[in-house]
């Protein structure tokens, strides 16, 4: 996880998005069009960049087939994600920013921190495993702690769970989660699920029950309490 190569912020962002998207598609190959969409550039731009990344040995590229991170690319991607998530936690814990607003800050800072500063932040925070959204923080060596989750869209009814992770970065959505008292750490019970109406009725510990749409519920991941 050294930062010897010195990739540009642009390249780091491509790698990071590539990594996140690969987690989805199970064969690992990502169409360039999808990469373009999530990086926010036109398809042609992504194709060009992918060829550059392939030259640098960061991705494998099959024209008209898709892209996939090489192990070098994955290593760099994990480094960026590690910086991003440590920064987010730092901003929330030490500078008292709201968890809904740290993502965009981290998006810029993740390209500007040295390994040394990151190590100090890691130490200051006590070598944390999860960021404010419950996302796992990759270790310096590249290892990512994995946890088994279920989402509120699929977990058992009438059983106690704890919100462990909210897979969203949109500030408005996160603020809603906060308003609804569904932030990570909260104990919840799903009281009902209406597949036809696509709604879930959730009751946060010692709070009135509330209704969520299925897509929103799917973004709230829970684990068994304890």
Q: Residue 44, Cα to own-chain centre: how many angstroms?
A: 26
Q: Which is nearer to DNA, 13 or 186 (CB)?
A: 13
Q: How many helices (H) and strands (E) does the chain have?
A: 8, 8
Which range of residues in 24-32, 40-48, 100-108, 164-172 is near a second copy by CB under 8 A?
Answer: 100-108
* Binding-site member from 60, 105, 107, 154 for Mn ion (CB under 5 A): 107
Residue among 24, 47, 51, 53 at smallest CA distance from 35: 47
103 contributes a contact to Mn ion by CB under 5 A: yes
140 contributes a contact to a second copy by CB under 8 A: no
User: Which of Mn ion, DNA, a second copy, none is residue 34 near (CB under 5 to 8 Å by kind)?
Assistant: DNA
Query: Are the CB atoms for 173 and 179 separated by under 8 Å?
Result: no
- Which three-class secondary structure state does DSSP give residue 52? helix
The contact mask relative to Mn ion for 1-30 (x = CB under 5 A, - = no) is: ------------x-----------------
* Binding-site member from 52, 169, 178, 211 for DNA (CB under 7 A): 52
10 contributes a contact to DNA by CB under 7 A: yes
Least Cβ distance, residue 91 to DNA (angstroms) = 24
Which range of residues in 31-39, 58-66, 103-111, 184-192 is near Mn ion by CB under 5 A?
Answer: 103-111
User: Which of DNA, Mn ion, a second copy, none is residue 124 near (CB under 5 to 8 Å by kind)?
Assistant: a second copy
Number of residues engaging Mn ion in binding (CB under 5 A)? 4
What does DSSP say about strands 187-194 and 160-166: parallel, antiparallel, or unpaired?
antiparallel
Runs of H (alpha helix) within 94-160: 102-109, 115-124
Burial 59-92 (b: 16+ CB within 10 A, else e): bbbeeeebbbbeeebbbbbbbbbbbbbbbbbbbb
Q: How long is the chain?
A: 226
Q: Which is nearer to a second copy, 108 or 143 (CB)?
A: 108
8 contributes a contact to a second copy by CB under 8 A: no
What does DSSP say about strands 210-213 and 160-166: parallel, antiparallel, or unpaired?
unpaired
Binding site for DNA (CB under 7 A): 8, 10-11, 31-34, 40-52, 63-66
């Amino acid at each position: 996880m050294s930062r010897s190569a010195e990739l540009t912020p642009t390249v780091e962002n491509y790698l990071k998005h590539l990594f996140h998207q690969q987690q989805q598609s199970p064969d690992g190959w990502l169409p360039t069009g999808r990469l373009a969409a999530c990086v926010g550039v036109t398809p042609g731009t992504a194709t060009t960049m992918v060829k550059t990344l392939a030259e640098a040995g960061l991705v494998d590229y099959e024209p008209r087939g898709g892209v996939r991170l090489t192990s070098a690319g994955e290593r760099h991607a994990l480094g960026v994600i590690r910086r991003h998530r440590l920064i987010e936690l730092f901003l929330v814990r030490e500078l008292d920013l709201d968890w809904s607003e740290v993502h965009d800050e981290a998006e810029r800072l993740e390209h500007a921190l040295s390994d040394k500063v990151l190590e100090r932040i890691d130490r200051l925070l006590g070598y944390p495993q999860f960021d404010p959204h419950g996302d796992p923080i990759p270790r310096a060596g590249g290892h990512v702690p994995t946890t088994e989750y279920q989402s509120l869209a699929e977990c058992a009814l009438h059983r106690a769970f704890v919100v462990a992770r909210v897979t969203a970065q949109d500030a408005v959505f996160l603020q809603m989660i906060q308003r609804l008292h569904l932030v990570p750490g909260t104990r919840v019970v799903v009281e009902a699920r209406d597949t036809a109406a696509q709604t879930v009725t959730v009751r946060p510990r010692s709070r009135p029950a509330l209704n969520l749409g299925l897509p929103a519920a799917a973004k709230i991941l829970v684990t068994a309490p304890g």
